[in-house]
Each structure stands twice: as C-alpha cells, then as structure tokens.
Structure 1
Amino acid sequence: MIDLGFEPDVNKILEFLPVSNQKPDSDEAENPELMGRNLHSAKAKYRQTVMFTATMPSAVERLARTYLRRPAVVYIGSAGKPVERVEQIVYFVTEKEKRRKMCEILGKGIEPPVIIFVNQKKGCDVLAKSLEKLNYRATVLHGGRNQEQREYALASLKSGSKDILVATDVAGRGIDIRDVSMVINYDMAKNIQDYTHRIGRTGRAGKEGTAVSFLTKDDSGVYYDLKQLLITSPVSTCPAELMNHPDAQHKPGTVMTKKRHEETIFA
C-alpha cells in the first residue's frame, strides 16, 4: 500500500488506534514477570503491535520507527541483495528476439515451475496464449485478474497442473511457490529493487535457482545496478557487453558531462 502512495492513509489509520495500553518503552518491556501480570486482564492487557515486511525501504522504516516500540529486526541473507544461490544470466536481445530466445531456453527441458515476468498486463495474456499454442501449460497472474482468478493461478502452479506462471510484478513480492527452478525476466524490471524481488522467487529455502533476464537498449537505466549485482555474485558472470557498456559505467544521474561541469563552474 505504501508503494502505491497510500502512506498518508496508513498513518491516519494508525493514529486512531488506542494508545492507552502500550507497553512501556523501557527495560520493563523485556521483563516477562512484569509483562505477565496483566495477561489475564482484558482491560489492563498491553497492546502488541507486530509488523512483518520483506523489505525495509525508507517509507516502511519511518513507519516502523514511529509506531513500533523496542522492535526486533531479523535479517535473513543480505538486505536488498539476491541470495548467492541464484545464478543470474543476462542476454542482450531486441524485442523481436525475445520470444525465440525464451523458447530456446524452455526447450532445454527446464524443471517446472517457472515464472516469467512481463511488465504489462496485456503482454502477460498474449505471452501465455503463445506458450499454450506451443503446448506449454501456462497460467497468468496480474492486476487485471480478480482475487479468485489469482488464487486459482497460484494453486494451479503449486499443484503441478500448470508449469509456467506469466506474471507482472504482482507476483514479485509476498508469494512463496516452492521449488521454482527458474525466473525469466522477459521484460526487464524498471528498477533494481523490483529485479531483486523477482529473482527472489527462485533459490528459496536453501535451494539453488536460475534467473534469466533479457536486456534491450531501452533498459539502460538499470545497466549499472545490474552490473554491480552480477560482479558481486559468486555464481554469476557479467557478460562483456554489459561490463563494457557506457551506461553501465556510472549510476544514472550521478555523472555530469564536461560541458555542463564547465557551465557550472563559470556560472
């Protein structure tokens, strides 16, 4: 909800929650004997607020600092980074080459389930129908589907009646499908955070996984960050085309051209 711009609304709701029965913000809160005194009293019982989040962007961190008292934070792996068991593979392609390359990869006999990410809802539907025509068992998950349809799509993948889930970033967070062998970014994510969440659908629970991404010239905004992830991954290799690409040498917006630099100095 915060990602969608509802941070003020969430804060407004939380402001109206009762605060008269909060736990003390002191060492007393760690004392089980003191905290247990009012355990059986409905009126005097302390209120407990628990927040679970897979990520901690600045907006969520502000929320946590405001409303949580003496919170415990547990990190599994490295925050904001893909797990080291996921091999990241990158191909530079044109839009017309994507479908052929995808079929070439799937034709190698990849163990299901597989998740294919597409940026647009319409693109999901079109790609899923194309896969079905090629005798692949595919289903769809995106924001245009109602809750019943979404649950059916996930259940189909988990039960094995479908092998491939074609999805938007709706499937990038908050879902756990066991033993996803491969994630394919048919359309590259718009930012490195979404990319990290997407490929986190594989390589879970101690398993190894593979993440394949198709890059086009329109994805240059993520070249630098993607390069950094690849060169720090112990199981991935950064292709020379990305390593040496001009747009991968600096983070977008951080390098000023020589002409603009001179204009700044003499302004």
Structure 2
Amino acid sequence: MTTFADLGLSPKLLKALEKTELKAPTPIQEQAIPQILKGRDLMGLAQTGTGKTAAFGLPLLHRLLDLTNPPGPRNIRALILAPTRELSLQIKDNFEIFTKGTHLKVLMVVGGQSLNRQSEALKRGADVLVATPGRLIDLIERGDVSLEKCGYLVLDEADHMLDMGFIHSLRRIAKHIPLKRQTLLFSATMPKDIEEVADTYLRDPVRVQVAPPGKPVERITQGVHFLPNGDKARQLEEYLKKHVGEQALVFCRTKHGSDKLNKILAGWGFRVGAIHGNRSQNQRDKILSEFKAGEVDVLVATDVAARGIDIPTVRHVYNYDMPNVPENYVHRIGRTARAGASGSSISFCSPAEMGELQAIEKVLKKPLPVVGGAPWAADIVAASPKPGQGRGRNGGGGAKPGHGRPQGAAKPAGRPQGKSGARPQGKPGQGKPAVQAPRPGGQSPRRKPANRPS
C-alpha cells in the first residue's frame, strides 16, 4: 500500500499528518501529489469528499517549505481561490493542520468579514492566501495585497466558480499574477467552460481523473420520492424521525424557503439550523460550528453549502427542492459518505420538478430508484407551475405542510390503491405514510410518463 512518505513529502508534513485521520493517500492524492511536486500544471477531476484539498495542499506546502525568507509586506506566495466562504474556511482549517510546527503562514479573506481586519492581517504578507474572488478584488483595488510574487495559483471547485459567475473576477485577478507560475485546477465536473479555463490559464497540464465527472460516490444510497410540494414537509419529518440521532443536510432552492422550513422543523421539535447567502458570516460560522459539534441535527441550506461542508457525521442528504443545475445534485449528495463512511440521499420531486429530475438522471446516465410515490404523468407535469412560480411559501411548498396538495394540482397517476380505494400513503398528519423500498438488485416499478426519456 502506498503511503504519504512514499510520495516524497517533507518530514515536517508527514509529522503533521500523523495527528490527522489521513493514514494513506486517496486515489486523487496518490496521482496528483507526485505531479505537483514535479512542478507540473495539473487539472484534477474528482468527486467531492475524495481528498482534493490534501491533493493540492500537501505538495504545494512541500514546495513552499523550501523558501525560508519571509514573503514581504502585503505579498503572498500562493493563492487558492474558492467559490464560497464555507469552502474557503474548510481549506484554511486543513492548511493550518498541515502547517503546524512549520514557519508557513496561512491567511483567509472572504466576504462578510471586516475588510480592515483582513487588510491589517495582510500587512506582513502570507505564504498561502485562501480567498473568495470578490473580496480578493476589493483588497487588490485598495492596495492591501500584492500578487506580483505569487508563484502558485489554485482554482478549487472551478466548475462551481463558473456557475456563480466568477469568470470575470478570475480574469481580473489573473492579470496581477506572474505568467511564470504553477497553476492547479480542481473540479468535480468537466463542462466545456472548464476546458476553456484550463486552456487559458494552465500550461501543458497533466490531467488526473479518479472517477467519471458527475458520478456520485458508490457508497451513497440514492432514491427519489414523488409527492406534491404541500406534502414535502411532513414527509421530511417522517424520514428524519426514522433516523433519530443521525445528522441530516436538507437542501432548498431559495433563502426564503430555507428559513420557512427551518421554522417548521423547529416547531416540530427538531434541533435545526439554516444557512444561506442572507445570513452573516458570523451566523453561518456559528450554525456550522453547532452542526459539527452535534448540537444541531438538521441543517437546512441553499446550494451555498453544497461545496463547503466537510462533516463526516452527515449521514443523510435530502433534496427538499430539486436543484435547477443538474451537476449541483452531485455536489449536494457529496456532503455525505465522506472519509470512507456511507450515506443516503433522498430527493423529493413534485410535478413541476420532473424536468430537473430528467436532467439529473441524464448526468448520472441512469434513473434514480423510486422510494415513494410514482412518476408524474405528462398532463400533470404540463399543468403544474414551473419551479420558482408560486414557490417560497411554507418552506418551498405551495400549500401549508400537512394540508394536502396545492389547490388545483391534479392527483398523481399510477399511485397504488388499497382495498377501499384509498391511497395508502394518506395525507400528512393522517397516519404514517408508507415508503416503498427499492427491490433488491433493482428499483421499484415505475410507470414511465409520455415525456420521460428511457
């Protein structure tokens, strides 16, 4: 078995690794670290939770350890760009563990925190700066940081960075970095835009890929539950009650919907918190700390959290709202089954979200197993409001939780009937809904609507 020592890392880094749970390199680390140590530009493609931070962090720090002189006032030697505050914090925390006992200095600058304090921290410079693009540009324009001595550029979660519209920010930042540098790009998916970024900013890169882009890790049990928006909250309650004591992450489409669902679950007695773009950085840090410490069992979030949460104790991911960007599905469910653990993911699909489900299954190249309900018929889908129309109330649903389906929504076709002709699942609040389990070696029978691809 390959060890970190076999990869040629510095003894100081190996000593720091002894105090972590990283005992042997993951596939992405085993392939990427030797190439980065050689000074090669690299494009790494791997799932979330596969150890990408250490894959670029350890060899980068190894190279920086050879530089003993200080970087100089307001100068940095290595820049790591990340799309979200949460991911930036995760990277910084990992780097501080790796650099313990060394002379290397790591700083982080992100939005939502004091600009003046960040400027003050940068006065003496830093060996590694972890940053979100917007805040870094603010500091560059103020003259609070210089990139003229930056010899290393890392673009982490590059696909998400492009999704968030940071391509223009990247262009502005890159102008300040010397052309003679080592550039590393890491991404979970490989859309055409990423290829163009790689062609622009990387020189003769080596490509490292440990899993097909968009393919979730095999340790995650996935499923889809078909139900109206108005039934989602009560169904979520049923799932959460089945796994008491196990941490869950619930994804909503909107900030307003996240707050509403948070209040509903809190009213039902769950230890719950919510994070999204409208929360201050202090609020987001506090809730994440409580989640990590086990003081919160259920975290409700928008996609802002899909790439910045690395909590091995998360066992369940619920897509309360289907993601409107299919690749985000992979990142969402990648918040579970981390560090070698297993996990589960259930996606709630209303009639208006059949299009999103089809797009996700196209990325996955296979259908999701049905664990509840039945696929919506084409006429019901056509009559339903599209995502974003009439949403945001009651945690993202149309009707109040526990009060049946939204007014005017047709009854889903193909639901199993009991002897009395009643639907066995029943309305929320009237008995426990029966949840179908996938058949061994396959999935539950599903009736294919007219517009559903085979």
Normalising to structure 2: TM-score of the pair?
A: 0.46
- Which ranges of structure 1 fall in alignment gaps of 5 or more residues? 23-46, 251-267
Check if 1:142 corresponds to 2:276.
yes
Cα offset, 1:239, TM superposition: 4.2
Q: CA deviation at 1:237?
A: 4.9
Asked if the contact 1:110–1:181 (Cα under 8 Å) also holds between the matched residues in 2, the reply is no
Question: Residue 168 in 1 paired to residue 302 in 2?
Answer: yes
Distance 1:206-1:245 versus aligned 2 partners, 3 A rule: farther
Partner of 2:246 in structure 1? 112
Are 2:449 and 1:245 equivalent residues in the alignment? yes
Hey, what does 1:85 align to over in structure 2? Answer: 219
In structure 2, runs of 5+ residues without a counterpart are: 1-160, 370-437
1:226 shift after superposition? 4.0
**SS state of the match for residue 283, structure 2?**
helix
CA distance in 1, matches of 2:248, 2:196: 36
Q: As a proportion of its length, which structure holds more strand?
A: 2
Q: Is the 8 A contact 2:312 2:337 kept in 1?
A: no
Match of residue 228 from structure 2: 94
Q: How far apart are 1:204 and its partner, in Å?
A: 1.9
Give the corresponding residue for 1:28: none
Aligned partner of residue 234 in structure 2, secondary structure = helix
Partner residue, 1:14: 174
Contact 1:89 1:236 in 2 (8 A): no
Shift of 1:164: 0.7
Change (3 A) 1:236 1:102: farther
CA-CA distance at 1:236 after TM superposition: 8.2
More displaced stretch, 223-232 vs 205-214? 223-232
Q: Is the 8 A contact 2:188 2:214 kept in 1?
A: no
Q: Which has the higher contact order (CA 8 A, sep 6+)?
A: 1
Q: CA deviation at 1:181?
A: 0.6
**Percent pairwise identity:** 39
Partner of 2:343: 209
Q: Which residue of 1 aligns with 2:163?
A: 3
- Match of 1:40? none
Distance in 2 (alpha carbons) for counterparts of 1:63 and 1:227: 26
Cα-to-partner distance string for 1:76-133 (whole Å, 9 max, x where unaligned): 3332111111111211101111111111111113442210011111111111111111
Kindly state the Cα deviation for residue 180 of structure 1 after the two structures are TM-superposed: 1.1
Match of 1:59 among 179, 183, 193: 193
> For 2:171 and 2:346, how far apart are their aligned partners in 1?
38
Question: Which segment drifts farther, 105-114 or 231-240?
Answer: 231-240
Secondary structure (helix, strand or coil) at the match of 2:178 reads coil
SS class of match (2:237):
helix
SS at match of 2:239: helix
User: Cα–Cα, structure 1 residues 73 and 179, in superposed 2: closer, same or farther, change >3 Å?
Assistant: farther
Counterpart residue identity of residue 235, structure 2: K
Distance 1:232 1:167, change over 3 A: closer
Aligned counterparts of 1:56 and 1:12: Cα–Cα separation in 2: 23
Distance change in 2, residues 1:87/1:110 (3 Å):
farther
Q: Compute the TM-score of the two structures, normalised by the length of structure 1.
A: 0.75
1:26 corresponds in structure 2 to none
Say whether the 8 Å CA contact 1:128–1:139 is kept in structure 2. Answer: yes
- Counterpart Cα distance in 1 of 2:295 and 2:307: 22
- 1:72–1:148: structure 2 CA closer, same or farther, 3 Å change rule? farther
Q: Could you report, residue by residue, the CA deviation over 1:135-178 in whole angstroms, capped at 9, with x for unpaired residues?
A: 11101111111211111121111111111100001111132111
How many residue pairs were aligned?
223
Deviation at 1:222?
A: 2.4
SS in 1 for 2:313: coil
Greater Cα shift, 1-10 or 212-221: 1-10
Instruction: Work out the CA distance in 2 between the residues paired with 1:231 and 1:123.
Output: 27
Once residues 244 and 125 of structure 1 are traced to their aligned partners in structure 2, the CA distance between those partners, rounded to angstroms, is 35
Letter in 1 for 2:451: D
SS of alignment partner, residue 182 of structure 1: strand
Tell me: CA distance 1:208–1:236, structure 2 relative to 1, closer, same or farther (3 Å): farther
RMSD: 2.4
Separation in structure 1 between the aligned mates of residue 295 and residue 176 of structure 2, nearest angstrom: 46
